[in-house]
Amino acid sequence: MAAWLDTLELDAPDPVAAWRLVEDGRPVGVRREVRRRAGEASAERVRTQLAVLAAALTAIVARLPDEAFVLPGGEADWNVAQAIGHDASARSGLVLAASLAASGRWPDDAPRVVPGVPGPPDASRDALVRKLAQSQRLI
């Protein structure tokens, strides 16, 4: 696995664990992992970890060359801007899932897998940085 992910995992172990499950082709395991890690003070813990992710993503967006945003993003047929836009939105979804699980309010009829929704394909660097900051405020 990439060294950057191992480094990020030191300060954001909960979301990195969920990401590793998705990357390993086990997205259904994310719900199980969220439940396992849920409990007293887990929402605050995850909020703090997602702030680490926001900072890491913002740093990546800041150093990417402009032409990189339209290149393939590694997720389905999304480009880099779409993948980062999705990441910004998914972060607040992870907090919602963790808080529902921690409070015992996880819906019994929740879908097993929720398909990803890409961000805008033509999002600019500034728009992505704003979206990341907005997602952290929502968290």
Q: What is the pLDDT of residues 20-56, one digit of tens each?
A: 998 899 988 988 888 898 888 888 898 899 899 999 9
Average pLDDT rounded to a whole number, residues 89-116: 76
- What's the mean per-residue pLDDT of the chain? 87
Quote the pLDDT of residue 14.
Answer: 92
Q: What are phi and psi of 67, to 5 degrees?
A: -70, -15
Q: What distance in Å separates the CA atoms of residue 57 and residue 120, rounded to the nearest whole number? A: 17
Quote the pLDDT of residue 128.
Answer: 95
pLDDT exceeds cutoff 70 at 3 = yes
Domain positions in the chain: 3-138
The three-state secondary structure class of 20 is: helix
Model confidence, pTM: 0.77
In percent, the amount of the chain with pLDDT more than 90 equals: 43
Exposure string for 14-24, b = 16+ CB within 10 A, e = fewer:
bbbbbbbbeee
Quote the pLDDT of residue 81.
Answer: 95
For helices 42-63 and 80-102, give the axis angle rounded to 10 degrees: 170
